[in-house]
Every structure is written in C-alpha cells, then in structure tokens.
C-alpha cells in the first residue's frame, strides 16, 4: 500500500471537536415531496435543536441520491445558507462517516465553526428502480442486465459464499433481524411496527436465495442530520455533545478476495482503537451498517469483536437487544426503521450520538459511555467498496 517506503503518517486526534444535535426527520414509506424538501426539514430541525438560525451554519455537507439536477451549491441558495465551507458526499451508506470526518477536520482547522451534516432522500414510487439502473458504470454494464435483482441479488451471492465458508445459517441472520425488530418496537419512528418471530423470518418468501424478505431493508423517504462544532461552541450553546474519539475510512480494500468476506474495516480497525485509546471490549453500544444481516456479522469480525469466521458463533452468544448482551442497532437499524437512501448511512451515527449523550429515550441503554457506529456502501460491481467507522464518547467518558 505504502509504495514510497516512507512511514505512514500518524493520525491527528479530534480533540476539541464534537458532534451534536442528532436529528431524525420521521420516515415515510413513499413521499411525493422532493429530496430538497427532506433536507429542508432536517436543516430546520438542526436550527431548532441548536437554538440558532440556519444562517449561522457556516459549513454544509450534504448526502443525497434525489436532489438532481441540483448540486450542493444550488442547495445553498434554495435554503438561504451562505457557508464558507461546502461539501457533497455522494457515497451512499458510508456518506455519514465521511461527512463527519471531513466536517471535523474543517472545524479543527478553523475553516468553519458550525457544520451541518445532512443526509436526506425522498422515495417516489419509481425512485428505487431508477437509482438501481443508474447506480454505477459497472452496475450498468455488468450487473443490472443480469436479472436486475439489485442489491438483493448482489448480497445474495456474498451471503451464499459467507454461509458456505464460515458455517453461518439462516437462523443466525434471523436472530439479528428479530433482535433489531424488538429494539424497533420501542422506536416510534421505525416504519416496522409489528413484532417479528424467528419462525416468521424463516418462513418468509425468497427474494434472491439465500436472501428472503426480512433480510431486506425497506426503501423509504427520510432524513438524518447532526452538527459538528468545537466543544466550547457546544458548551456556549448549552448543547450536550458526543466527543469524536477516532474515525476510519477505506475504499476498495481486499480487491484480491474473489468474493467479499471482509470490508475495509479489517484493514484499519487497529488504528481506530489505537487512536481512541480503547479496546473493542470497552465499547458499550454498537450501530453497524445493516443493509443485510450478513454485513453486520462481517462487521463484528472486521471491527474486532471476534475473529474472522467467528461471526456466526458470536451471534449465537449474544442477544443484541437494548436490555441484553451486546446492544446493537438499538433504533432497530435500517432493517426495521427503513432505508432512507443516503440517510441510511447516518441512522446509526445519529442513534449512537443519542446513546452516548443519553438522550435516546425509549431505546436508551444503561451505561452507554462509548459507542461505535459504522458505514458501508457502494456496491459498484460485486461488493461494497466503502467502509468507515467512528467511536463516540459521552461527556463523562
């Protein structure tokens, strides 16, 4: 990787930078509104939550699949913002982590004081189909024409391979889905309101074997957002905040693996924990990117909670519920809350902030001091290319 032979530079800490005002605009299965409308609602909620005007946001970072033909610049005029720092992160499920990372450095360097990180997408009746067919050049040339099964078919192949190689069973994936549904029943914003049993999970109709109905997220409309600012700014505004202990991102890792069995986390997790000065066992609550349960299982391994191949056993040992062992995807995750386009990559971050700030309300776990949230995304061809993670700590951590 480091072909120059020079030592890899040491990551600087995020000391003095915090994330605050976690915001969710409640999801809808379908919406007749535009992507801009959902982003507008999130900006309003951020301003209300911070008790300041949106014109005080001097940094703006946006992630969305449904703002075309607008760019981030167009949105500044649309919303009456005049930022001195502007970013757009068109990277799906990893956009939340990337947005946070970039915003944190901008604040640290003094390029901006208050950055609004917003992800929002609408979901018209035909949005999902259009996104699929235009997702990437490789998808257009070499995936979509092969049955147009979308991510379900792509992850079916990854899940098949993982089950074969590491002995995971459908029951193991089902356990994660059922636990997340239990958690979601406490979350008033979750689109899935009915309990789910393992029997129901196993009996569901096939979508693309071994993926069945309850392995899939429901595409929907919604928005998630947060603010990044200096600790002293948050204190002056009396905003409870989450410290950013460490973050990582990695793209197109392990290209030599014939079929994806690990994500980029496996390459950088060591640095993630070293920078935070903690070990995996110190994490109190985990929000993985759960577009499919097999990806969550992979993350338990890649983020160091167990060894590669031990994911299925790890799942058999824990309950993953709010009151149980290894609380995981406490909001219900995308599997039970819904996947609001690019906001899907922010859902876990926002929930993780709430947990360590201890404002999660009905989904709050006891003793949440340190939390980890991850992002994953961009099935460009045969695998998810982008991986990212953040470790947050509450004030008293």
Q: Are 267 and 253 in contact (CB under 8 A)?
A: yes
Cβ of residue 256: shortest distance to another protein, in angstroms?
Answer: 10
Q: Distance from first CA to last CA of the chain, Å, rounded?
A: 35
Residues with Cβ < 8 Å from 164, sequence gap 6 or more? none
- Nearest 10 degrees: CA dihedral of 162, 164, 170, 173? -20
What are the backbone angles phi and psi of residue 318, rounded to the nearest 5°?
-120, 170
C-beta of 383: minimal distance to another protein in Å?
9
Name the residue nearer to another protein (CB basis): 79 or 162. Answer: 162
Min dist CB 166 to another protein, Å, is 14
Going across the sheet that includes 114-121, the strands are 85-88, 59-63, 114-121, 221-230, 17-28, 241-251, 384-393, 370-379, 285-287
Residues that bind another protein (CB under 8 A): 128-129, 132-133, 137-138, 140-150, 152-153, 156-158, 160-161, 164, 205-211, 255, 258-259, 381-382
Q: How far is the CB of 258 from another protein (least distance, A)?
A: 5
Min dist CB 111 to another protein, Å, is 33
Q: Rounded to the nearest whole angstrom, what is the least distance from the CB of residue 374 to another protein in the complex?
A: 24
Q: Which is nearer to another protein, 21 or 143 (CB)?
A: 143
Task: Count other Cβ atoms within 10 Å, centred on residue 281.
Answer: 8
- Write a three-state SS string for 62-114: EECCCCCCCCHHHHHHHHCCCCCEEEECCCHHHHHHHHHHHHHHHHHCCCCCE
Phi and psi for 247 in degrees, rounded to 5?
-145, 160
Least distance to another protein, CB of residue 35, Å:
20
Extended beta strands in the chain, E state: 17-28, 59-63, 85-88, 114-121, 206-208, 211-212, 221-230, 241-251, 285-287, 370-379, 384-393
């Amino acid at each position: 990787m480091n072909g120059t032979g020079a030592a890899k530079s040491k990551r600087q800490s995020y000391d003095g930078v915090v994330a605050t005002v976690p915001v969710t605009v409640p999801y809808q299965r379908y919406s007749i509104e535009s992507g801009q409308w959902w982003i507008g609602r999130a900006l309003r909620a951020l301003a209300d939550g911070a008790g300041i005007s949106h014109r005080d946001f001097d940094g703006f970072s946006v992630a969305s699949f449904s703002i075309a033909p607008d760019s981030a610049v167009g949105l500044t005029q649309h919303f009456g913002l005049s930022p001195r720092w502007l970013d757009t992160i068109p990277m799906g499920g990893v956009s939340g982590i990337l947005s946070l990372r970039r915003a944190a450095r901008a604040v640290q360097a003094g390029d901006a004081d208050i950055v609004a990180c917003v992800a929002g997408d609408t979901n018209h009746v035909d949005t999902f189909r259009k996104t699929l067919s235009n997702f990437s050049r490789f998808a257009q040339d070499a995936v979509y024409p092969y049955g147009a099964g979308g991510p379900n078919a792509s992850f079916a192949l990854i899940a098949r391979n993982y089950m074969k190689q590491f002995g995971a069973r459908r029951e193991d994936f089902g356990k994660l889905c059922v636990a997340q549904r239990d958690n979601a029943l406490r979350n008033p914003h979750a689109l899935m309101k009915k309990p789910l049993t393992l029997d129901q999970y196993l009996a569901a109709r096939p979508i693309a074997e071994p993926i069945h109905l309850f392995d899939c997220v429901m595409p929907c409309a919604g928005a998630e957002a947060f603010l990044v600012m200096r600790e002293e700014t948050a204190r002056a505004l009396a905003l409870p905040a989450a410290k950013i202990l460490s973050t990582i991102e990695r793209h197109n890792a392990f290209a030599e693996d014939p079929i994806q069995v690990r994500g980029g986390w496996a390459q950088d997790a060591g640095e993630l924990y070293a920078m935070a000065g903690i070990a995996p066992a110190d994490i109190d609550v985990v929000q993985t990117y759960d577009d499919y349960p097999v990806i969550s299982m992979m993350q338990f391994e890649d983020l160091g909670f167990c060894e590669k191949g031990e994911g299925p056993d790890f799942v058999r040992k824990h309950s993953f519920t709010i009151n149980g062992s290894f609380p995981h995807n406490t909001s219900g995750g995308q599997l039970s809350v819904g996947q609001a386009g690019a906001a899907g990559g922010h859902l876990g971050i926002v929930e993780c902030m709430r947990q360590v700030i201890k404002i999660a309300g009905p989904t709050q776990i006891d003793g949440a001091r340190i939390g980890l949230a991850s992002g994953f995304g961009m099935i460009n061809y045969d695998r998810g290319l982008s991986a990212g993670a953040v470790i947050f700590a509450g004030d008293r951590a």
